[in-house]
Structure 1
Amino acid sequence: MKTKSEVIPENTFIILDDASNLSLSKLCGPLDTNIHTISNITDTKIIRSSNKFTITGSNIFLAKKAIYFFHEQSKYKEVSKKDIILGMSELDINYLDYDLKPSNLKKLKIRPRTKNQYSYVHNILHKDITFGVGPAGTGKTILAVACAVNALDNHNVERLVITRPAIEAGEKLGFLPGNLEQKIDPYLRPLYDSLYNFIGIDKVQKLFEKQIIEIAPLAYMRGRTINNAFIILDEAQNTTSEQMKMFLTRIGLGSKAVITGDPSQIDLPTGHKSGLNDAIAILNEIDDVSINLFTSQDIFRHPLVAKIVTAYELKSKK
Structure 2
Amino acid sequence: MSETRLDVDPLGSSSRSVHFESPEHMVRTLGAHDEVLRLIEAEFRDVDLLVRGNEVLISGPAAAVERTERLIAEIRTLAAADTRVTPQVVEQLLRMLRDQSVARPADVLTQNILSSRGRTIRPKTLNQKKYVDAIDVNTVVFGIGPAGTGKTYLAMAKAVQALQQKEVNRIILTRPAVEAGERLGFLPGTLSDKIDPYLRPLYDALHDMMDPDSIPRLMAAGTIEVAPLAYMRGRTLNDAFIILDEAQNTTPEQMKMFLTRLGFGSKMVVTGDITQIDLPGGTSSGLKIVSEILQGVDDVHFSMLDASDVVRHRLVSDIVDAYSQWDESRRRGAAPERPQHPRKRQESRP
> If the TM-score is normalised by the length of the shorter chain, which range does it land in?
0.7 to 0.9
Larger displacement relative to structure 2 (16-25 or 241-250): 16-25
Aligned positions of 1:122-201 closer than 5 A: 122-168=133-179, 178-201=189-212
- What is the Cα deviation at residue 87 of structure 1? 5.2
Which amino acid in 2 is paired with 1:84?
A: V
- TM-score using structure 2 length: 0.72
Distance 1:58 1:228, change over 3 A: farther
Larger displacement relative to structure 2 (21-30 or 138-147): 21-30
- Pick one of 232, 235, 238 that aligns with 2:249: 238
- What is the Cα deviation at residue 88 of structure 1? 4.8
Which amino acid in 1 is paired with 2:165?
A: N
Which amino acid in 2 is paired with 1:95?
A: A
Residue of structure 1 in register with 2:19 after alignment: 16
Tell me which protein shows more helix as a share of its residues.
Answer: 1
Distance 1:287 1:123, change over 3 A: same
- Do the aligned partners of 1:233 and 1:260 also contact (CA within 8 Å) in 2? yes
Residue of structure 1 in register with 2:273 after alignment: 262
Q: CA RMSD in A?
A: 3.8
Residue of structure 2 in register with 1:7 after alignment: none
Q: Are 2:120 and 1:112 equivalent residues in the alignment?
A: no
- Do the aligned partners of 1:225 and 1:252 also contact (CA within 8 Å) in 2? yes
Residue of structure 2 in register with 1:6 after alignment: none
- Do the aligned partners of 2:138 and 2:301 also contact (CA within 8 Å) in 1? yes
Distance 2:150 2:50 in 1: 40
Aligned positions of 1:221-232 closer than 5 A: 221-232=232-243
State how many pairs are aligned: 296
- Pick one of 57, 64, 69 that aligns with 2:69: 64
- Percent identity among equivalent residues? 43
Distance 1:36 1:216 in 2: 48
- What is the Cα deviation at residue 82 of structure 1? 4.0
Gaps of 5+ in 1: 1-9
Residue of structure 2 in register with 1:84 after alignment: 90
Distance 1:104 1:288 in 2: 24
Residue of structure 2 in register with 1:53 after alignment: 58
- What is the Cα deviation at residue 13 of structure 1? 3.1
- Do the aligned partners of 1:100 and 1:119 also contact (CA within 8 Å) in 2? no
Distance 1:236 1:106, change over 3 A: closer
Gaps of 5+ in 2: 1-11, 330-350
Distance 1:260 1:86, change over 3 A: same
Distance 1:93 1:114, change over 3 A: farther
- What is the Cα deviation at residue 173 of structure 1? 7.7
- Do the aligned partners of 2:89 and 2:124 also contact (CA within 8 Å) in 1? no
- What is the Cα deviation at residue 201 of structure 1? 2.0
CA offsets 1:175-223 (integer angstroms, 9 cap, x no match): 9764443232111011011101110321111100110000110011001
Distance 2:137 2:115 in 1: 16
CA offsets 1:231-288 (integer angstroms, 9 cap, x no match): 0000000000000000000010100000000001001111110000111111121131
Distance 1:293 1:125 in 2: 16
